[in-house]
Structure 1
Amino acid sequence: MPPLRLFQFASLTQKGLRGASCRRAHLHLASGGTQTITKPADSRTRSRPLALAGAGSVLCAWYLLQEPLSLEEAPESSIRVEPETCVRFPSTIQPPSCPPLTLVGLGVRVVSFLKFKVYAVGFYAEPALLQTTEDAPFEEKIERIIQTSACAIRIVPVRSTSYTHLRDAFIRALRLRIVDLKKTRNLFLDEENALEESLQRLKGIFPISSFEKNSSLLVYSVPEVHGGLKERTLIFDGLGEIQSTWMAANFFYTYFTGKGVSPALLKSVKESLISKKIWMAELL
């Protein structure tokens, strides 16, 4: 039986089997659906299907692994847990019109001197590039991934906030990237105008509404070849998209240059790429 796709879980309800011998995992999918998975505390049994009861009397198969599998064999329904927030992330996702992406690292976004945790974040990329044997510094590896791979950032707020606050943080980080760019060379007027226009488009796609705790936002980009040139679009799932190769790349660079938007994510991804040990599915 082939691995189950994420969209096959989108209709699962938050009511599942409950008991002292079971654990639950809530996965808020990019489509906005909520997935509740239950499984025995003993996670070393292979291929034991569990019935999940809910409003729609949904029945699905859950593969429990006896031993670690390779990256290609890991079931898409398996998850990892961000340790600081206990937010759960699927080890593999497949956004629309995108190849399967594998979880590379996890972290948390912290703000102010009081160290408020705002959201948990996971970084995903294509497995083929992650498994490269190339012996190169982290900076070169992450640049290659961002420039040539489909990749994604999945954000799950751990406290209720607003899309406006999230948007403003993105724009501040991108403006700093523009400042750094100007330090390396003089920009032509049309270049500056194009960058400013893309920032204004980014402002326009975010709703003036709350970004609720434990909801999720998936931001991803897929390289597309047009006339021999690779162009990229940055897609905010369910909100809109920005057609800008510069923004599509630099949005991800904000997480992996300097201290990064989330130093914890930067450290996690760096450890994964340098050690060449890609994050594998770890069952509850």
Structure 2
Amino acid sequence: MLRQQVALRPLSRGLTKRGAASTLPITARRTFISRRAGRPSSRPVELDVQGLSQKAKDYHRNRQVFLWSGAIAGVVSFIYTAYKLKRELEKPVKLDSSLPSTDPLTNSNVAERKVVVHDEEGREIVPTGNSTVPAFPRTIDLPSFTSPLEAPAETAADPLTPPLSLGAATTEYTLVGLGLRTVTFVGIQVYVVGYYVATADIAALQSALVKTVDPIATALVPGERDQLRGRLLDPVEGDKLWDELLTKGIPARSAFRVIPVRDTDFHHLRDGFVRAIQARSTDLSGGQAAADDTFGEAMRDFRAIFNRGRVPKRKELLLVRDGKGKLAVAYDDGKKGRQLIGVVEDERVSRTLWLNYLAGKKVASEPARKSIVEGIMEFVERPVGTVAAQVV
């Protein structure tokens, strides 16, 4: 039975409502959830001391690993933050026009502007983005090359003949754009090339480009600049436009500055130039230049200029085009300064070589071509004649 009656016993302290002593039955209940009296176990307690010790070791080891990981992560994040702050502080400031953003002459593509910084000597330089050749000067002073142009080409090209002396008068050239030339599908870097235009001749180039869009304008607004940019980047239109300008002698004086980023030689550079000239020679305005004996003789003179030895990295090679289209090649080995090494009289040679960088379906350096086009955009956004004083 789950329920048992227990003997009655008097309540010594309990009182009824009437104050008389009474007796009450006390009932003990046992249910299925009631706690049973436990019996002491006779089995011994088994403790895995080694397992507990191993767990403790694992806990402390994981705790130390976690703490060290947090400490290392904190140090790394501190160093990274300091590095980023340092880079931001050292980041050159983009120099732009002081015109308000709402002014129609303000360049809408500010991100493409060239950045000008100063080196340790205070000269203005433009970063190239390459670690071997980190910067190009914003301006360079070059001889006119007028007197040396009269020297025979075969004498100037002889490696045993001392380089031709340069004239005393110099002309300032301003950087328009630059870029890196790469070859093969893996993008092997060869050299950094920059396009310079004589500062005094920029106004003529600026005026000619503006008039191709609007014959009566002196500067182009954003929509017109986009139209000109599209023409310059178009393989057909750009080639036609630059060919017409160069044929007319616009700009009159310009130069390409080539700085190798790896050790090379004159023959390697010559082969690249010759292939580019031959690929475009049949497209020159005026007929079959490839079959022209005069043009063939000029190409032989051009090849002879490069019959020389090595060109170490960071050494300067200059290709300079004068007002008549004559090509002068100068080289600076780092010891004697810029030395004229040869001249080609036929203007078609320099024109095809220039087109190899400025326009067409396939150019020597696409980054250089795009940078040059953006430099042109900076020219045409300002009134004609004011570019020479602008901050690039």
Both proteins in one fold, TM over 0.5: yes
- The equivalent residue for 2:296 is 196
Give the aligned partner of residue 89 of structure 1.
136
Cα drift, residue 192 of structure 1 = 1.0
User: Does residue 122 of structure 1 match 2:213?
Assistant: no
| Counterpart secondary structure, 1:180 | coil
Whether the 8 Å CA contact 2:261–2:314 is kept in 1: the answer is yes
Is contact 1:104-1:272 (8 Å) kept? yes
Verify the 8 A CA contact 1:91 1:281 in the aligned structure 2.
Answer: no
Distance 1:210 1:281, change over 3 A: farther
Residues 275 and 209 of structure 1: is their aligned pair in 2 closer, same or farther, counting only changes over 3 Å?
A: same
Q: How far is 1:274 from its partner?
A: 2.7
Query: Alignment length, in residue pairs?
Result: 209
Query: What per-residue deviation string (whole Å, max 9, x for no partner) do you get for residues 42-80 of structure 1?
Result: 999xxxxxxxxxxxxxxxxxxxxxx7799xxx9993111
Q: 1:153 Cα deviation (Å)?
A: 0.3
Aligned match for 1:235, one of 321, 325, 328: 328
Contact 1:87/1:120 (<8 A) preserved: no
* Counterpart position of 2:125: 79
Query: Quick one: which of 140, 153, 171 aligns to 1:99?
Result: 171
Amino acid at match of 1:262: S
1:253 matched to 2:355? The reply is yes
Could you report, residue by residue, the CA deviation over 1:222-254 in whole angstroms, capped at 9, with x for unpaired residues?
Answer: 11xxxxxxx332000132111111112222111
Q: Percent identity, aligned pairs only?
A: 27
User: After superposition, where does 1:1-284 map in structure 2 within 5 Å?
Assistant: 77-85=123-131, 86-97=133-144, 99-131=171-203, 132=206, 134-136=210-212, 137=228, 138=232, 139=238, 140=241, 143-144=244-245, 147-148=249-250, 149-181=252-284, 186-187=287-288, 192-223=292-323, 231-237=324-330, 238-258=340-360, 259-276=362-379
Separation of aligned partners in 1, 2:315 and 2:137: 14
> How far off is 1:128 after superposition?
4.3
Unaligned runs of 5+ in 1: 1-40, 45-66, 224-230
User: How many angstroms apart in 1 are the aligned matches of 2:202 and 2:287?
Assistant: 34
What's the secondary structure of 1:100's corresponding residue?
strand
The answer as to whether partners of 1:220 and 1:235 remain within 8 angstroms in 2 is yes
Distance in 1 (CA, whole Å) between partners of 2:261 and 2:289 is 41
AA of the residue aligned to 2:357: Y
- C-alpha distance in 1 between matches for 2:179 and 2:365: 6
More strand by share: 1
Distance in 2 separating the partners of 1:206 and 1:114: 27
Match of 1:50 in 2: none
Whether the 8 Å CA contact 2:191–2:260 is kept in 1: the answer is: yes
- Name the CA distance, whole Å, in 2 between partners of 1:92 and 1:69: 19
Distance change (3 Å), C-alpha of 1:180 and 1:43: closer
CA distance in 2, matches of 1:198, 1:180: 17
Q: Match for 1:234: what amino acid?
A: L
- SS of the aligned residue for 2:272 comes to helix
Q: CA deviation at 1:155?
A: 0.4
SS of residue paired to 2:282: helix
- Structure 2 unaligned runs (5+)? 1-89, 99-116, 145-169, 213-227, 233-237, 331-339, 382-386
Pick the structure with more helix per residue.
2
CA offset digits 1:189-218 (Å, max 9, x no partner)? 9x6111111111111111331111111101
Q: C-alpha distance in 2, partners of 1:200/1:264? A: 30
